[in-house]
Each structure stands twice: as C-alpha cells, then as structure tokens.
Structure 1
Amino acid sequence: MLISNIEVLPGYTITKHLGLVQGSTVRAKHLGRDMMAGLKNMVGGELKGYTELLNESRQEALDRMKKQASKMGANAIINVRFSTSNITSGASEILAYGTAVFIESK
C-alpha cells in the first residue's frame, strides 16, 4: 500500500476515491520511562524512551489506518496527516488519517 502526505502520486492516476480512513492508539507513559525522563531532564538530551514510545504509537496508528483502507479496497492512501491529543494526565492519542484511493500506473 502506497502512503503519501501529498494529494497526488506522481506516475499514478487515481481511479477511485474511497473516502476518509483513520487509525489511532492511546498510550500511557511507562513509570520506568517517566523516571528516566525526569533524570534526563536535569542534564538535557534526547528522551529516548519517549521517542521510542512515539515511534511505536505512530506505527500502530498507521497500521490501523492501512488495515481500514485495505478493507475498503484501496491500494493507496493520500494526504496523510498525524494529530495528537492528551486524553488524561500521562496518556495521549496519536491519530493518523488520510484519503483512501485506488490508483493505477500511468
């Protein structure tokens, strides 16, 4: 499945517009990661535990979006975007959304 953050895919023609697709996940901070982040916050630098958590969350949201698009008969998703929101203290949602389409080579 091709995924793009632009509205067209060079070299392809969109033959069917299938509609909006989305995938999301809600994740909470891990106590161990939170403690390490607190220590790292004092000395500065990348919070690798949080970076890993966000990467895993984005991938999960993308996978769920792709699964929904596949069920609709799509072979590509265009205009993909990500959004985040706080659900509660220590938990956030990652949302991936885009437009499911069927494409063919030009």
Structure 2
Amino acid sequence: MEFVTTETVPGREIQKTLGIARGNTVKARNVGRDITQSIRNITGGELKAYSELLSDARDEALERMADDAESLDADAVVNVRLESSAIANGGSEVIAYGTAVTLD
C-alpha cells in the first residue's frame, strides 16, 4: 500500500477512484506524564512524552487508514492528510485521510 500527499503516485496511473479512506484514534494523557511534563514545561524544552504520544497516535491513524483502504481493495491512497484536535480535557484525536485508488 502506497501513501502519498500528492494527487498522483509518481510513475503510476490512477485507474479508479474508490472513495475516502480514513483512520482515526483518540489518545489521552496520563497523570504520571502530566506531572513530569509540567515540570518540563516550567524549565523549558521539548515535552517528549507528549511528542511520543502524538507520534504513536499518528502511526495508529495511518495504520487504520491503510486497513480502510485495503477493505476498498485500493492499491494506494493519494492526497493523504493528517489532522489533530482536542476532544476533551487531556484527550486528542488524530485522523488520517485521503483518496483510495487503484493503479495501473
């Protein structure tokens, strides 16, 4: 399965557009991380625990998008986009989406 952020896959022709493929996940912070990251927020620097949390969420959203595309019998997903938003106190959603296509 290929993912690209462009409208086409380089060197390949799109045979058929199958629709939107998407995958999302909602992740929440935990109390232990909040304490350590609050201290880091005071002293400055990267909040690594939160960076890792969002990185894991992006990977999971992309995996779920791939599963959705495979269920449509897609060869690739073009115009892939990632977005995140706050859902509740301490919770964040990450969604990956794009257009599922078959290739020649």
Do they fold alike, i.e. is TM over 0.5? Answer: yes
> 1:72-96: CA deviations, max 9, x gaps?
0001000011111111111011011
In structure 2, the partner of 1:39 is: 39
Structure 2 stretches of 5 or more lacking a match? none
Identify the residue that residue 18 of structure 2 maps to in structure 1.
18
Find out whether 1:56 has 2:56 as its counterpart.
yes
Separation in 2 of the partners of 1:74 and 1:6? 16
3-state DSSP class of the match of 1:12? coil
TM-score (norm 1): 0.95
Matched to 2:37, the amino acid is A
Return structure 1 stretches of 4+ with deviation > 2 angstroms: none
Amino acid at match of 2:101: V
Unaligned runs of 5+ in 1: none
When the two structures are aligned, how many residues end up with a matched partner?
A: 104
Query: Once the two structures are aligned, what percentage of the paired residues are identical?
Result: 46
Over the aligned positions, Cα root-mean-square deviation in angstroms equals 0.7
Partner of 2:93: 93
Supply the AA of the counterpart residue of 2:45. G
Letter in 1 for 2:9: L
SS in 1 for 2:10: coil
- 1:16 partner letter: K
